[in-house]
Amino acid sequence: MTSPWSEGQVASVAPDAGSLAAAAKLSAAWTQTGGNGDALWGLCQGSGKSAYRSVVDLTGPAFHCSCPSRKFPCKHTLGLLLIWSQGRVPEQSEPPEFANDWLSRRARRAVAAAATRTAGAKATERRAERVAAGLDELDLWLTDQIRGGLGAADISASAFDAIAARMVDAQAPGVASALRRLPIVVATRADWPDRLLREYARLHLLVVAHRRLSELPEPLQASVRSHVGYPVATDSVRGEPGVRDRWMVLGMQTTEEKRLFTRKVWLLGRDHGRRAILLDFAHGSGNFSTVIPPLGSLVDATLHFYPGAAPLRAQFGDTHEPPEPFTTVAPSDIDTALDDFAAAVGADPWIRSWPALLTGVTPAYDGGSWFVVDGQGRALPLSGEDPVLWRLLGMSGGSPVTVFGEWTSDSLVPVSVFDRGDVYPLVAAAPSTAGSRR
């Protein structure tokens, strides 16, 4: 049984002050009102021939009205709550048919949802058990690699693929992806033993964190699940608190692997400086279902971030104003980029890269190596495909420019460059996709 609300509680669910004021004016318009402690109902006579049928489920609360209003709750359900708060709704054991129909449908949906949650909880538990068993096997494999020494270990692509396939079977796709990147490290880097040991340490830390998942703070728990590869429901992300800002689209990149197209869009909040990345996927073609603002535009919008210790991935929520071009960015130097990366890794040690914006840096090529150099002579190494780096150098003309990219702890991977107020992509779009340059 629910006690009558105060007028303040009624006001707290009103969509706006105008709706609440309109509700108060309906005091004399009610007939056939009633309540049973769990629900309220009544008929409210409006300007039309038929009275509006209003119902409130107090266990939610949830609201229903036959009026055409797009506000929720409408003035009629608010008015019903107001007269209830004033003690003017009589108690009745059974609701009338119009109220019972809606309340019964809600009850059936609640039972179905509870059954779905129970089944989902069991499936989640089974998956966690499979993941835990797979990670135990991975930890044993890592121990064998270290015990025997890298010189004696099988570091062929097939060896890494075999343990990665086991992680796929264990429903840990994030771990499998990390393992499948290791043959590239071995094949392309002169310092591969050091790199390989670092990757092994990162994987071992992830195994230990997963074992002690319940002991970790909730944001770090979310990061561990993300890196292991647990899925995150879109609806749950949209349930996260929104972050409104004027978001600048700094970079855009589309890649393709085995007919899976991936689009990355990097954003920076102009007012609060928060970074975000949007990820979209499409099978078979580069026709993505999500519409995004063009590169070099600024949009007043609300983003919802995926949970994590260093949240970066986000989804678009409401757009408040149409996109418009921007021509300037706030100064951002090397120290800021390195500090931002350090803070992110300090919160989430499995992060591999972080967005970096550098203003007033000059691309340079020296002795077979690539750099960007700031006005004080400090340099950061660049990495990436040669055509991308040569394009960056050519567009700069040997003069200072603004470069956006991803810092990976040892080099900057450039994504876009600012030239005379415009933003240009450095990486060509994958085939079968629309160009991202505006």
Higher pLDDT, 2 or 134: 134
Same domain, 346 and 305: no
Distances in Å between the alpha carbon of 165 and those of 149, 160, 209? Answer: 23, 9, 22
Q: Evaluate whether residue 105 is within a structural domain.
A: no
Residues 239, 314: one domain? yes
- 3, pLDDT greater than 90: no
Looking at per-residue confidence, does 189 or 48 come out higher?
189
CA distance 126 to 113: 20
48, 75, 95 — which closes off a domain?
A: 95
Is residue 202 assigned to a domain? yes
Residue 103 lies in a domain: no
pLDDT at 93: 83
Q: How far is CA 246 from CA 267, 332, 389, in A?
A: 10, 18, 30
Mean pLDDT (the chain, rounded)? 90
One-letter amino acid for residue 212 of the chain: R
Q: Domain containing 59: what range? A: 7-95
The tokens for 182 are: 């290791």
Q: Do 274 and 224 belong to one domain?
A: no
Is position 51 within any domain?
Answer: yes
Question: 355 in helix, strand or coil?
Answer: strand
Tell me the pLDDT band of 433, cut-offs 50, 70 and 90. Answer: very low
In a domain, 438, yes or no: no
Q: Are residues 203 and 155 in the same domain?
A: yes
Give the whole-angstrom CA distance, residue 117 versus residue 131.
Answer: 20
- 327 pLDDT higher than 60: yes
Please return the burial class of 274, using the count of CB atoms within 10 Å of its CB with bins 0-12, 13-18 and 19+: middle
* pTM tops 0.75: no
Q: Are residues 307 and 269 in the same domain?
A: yes
| Domain annotation covers residue 428 | no
Q: Which residue has the higher pLDDT, 51 or 72?
A: 51
Q: Which pLDDT band holds residue 431 (cuts at 50, 70, 90)?
A: low
CA distances from 267 to 29, 218, 337, 420 (A): 52, 25, 15, 20
pLDDT(191) > 80:
yes
Residues 14 and 60 in one domain: yes
98: pLDDT strictly greater than 80: yes
Strands annotated E in 181-292: 242-257, 260-269, 275-283
Residue 322 token pair: 């149409």
CATH code assigned at 259: 2.40.50
Res 8: pLDDT:
87
> Do 215 and 247 have their domain in common?
no
List, for residues 247-304, the tens digit of each pLDDT value.
Answer: 999 999 998 888 888 999 999 999 999 999 999 988 887 778 888 899 999 999 999 9
Is residue 346 domain-shared with residue 299, that is, in the same domain?
A: no
Residues 21 and 37 in one domain: yes
Token pair 């039972």 is at which residue?
A: 111
**Where residue 115 falls among pLDDT bands split at 50, 70, 90?**
low
Same domain, yes or no, for 74 and 143? no
Confidence of residue 437 (pLDDT cuts 50, 70, 90): very low
Q: Count of domains in the chain? A: 4
Considering 307, 325, 343, which residue would you say is the last residue of a domain? Answer: 325
Give the torsion sign (CA, 307, 312, 314, 318): positive
Amino acid identity of 106? R
- How confident is the model at residue 400, as a pLDDT? 96
Mean pLDDT of 188-194: 90
Claim to verify: residue 142 and residue 73 sit in the same structural domain: no
Mean pLDDT is lowest, of 32-36, 119-123, 210-214, for 119-123
Sign of the dihedral through C-alpha 362, 367, 370, 375: negative
Given a cut of 70, whether residue 432 has pLDDT beyond it is: no
Tell me how far CA of residue 233 lies from CA of 127, 137, 154, 301, 307, in angstroms.
Answer: 16, 28, 38, 21, 11
Q: Look at residue 408 in the predicted model and tell me its pLDDT.
A: 94
Rounded to the nearest 10 degrees, the angle between the axes of helix 157-169 and helix 97-148 is 150
434 part of a folded domain: no
Q: From CA 56, how far away is CA 54, in angstroms rounded?
A: 7
| Rounded Cα–Cα distance for residues 287 and 429 (Å) | 12
Percent of the chain with pLDDT strictly greater than 90? 69
Say whether both 286 and 347 belong to one domain. no
Among the candidates 308, 325, 342, a domain finishes at 325
Residue 430 has pLDDT above 60, yes or no: no
pLDDT range class, residue 55, cuts 50, 70, 90 = very high
| 407 belongs to a structural domain | yes
379-396 exposure pattern, b = at least 16 Cβ within 10 A, e = fewer? bbebbbeeebbebbbebb
**b/e map 301-315, b = 16+ CB within 10 Å:** bbbbbbbbbbbbbbb
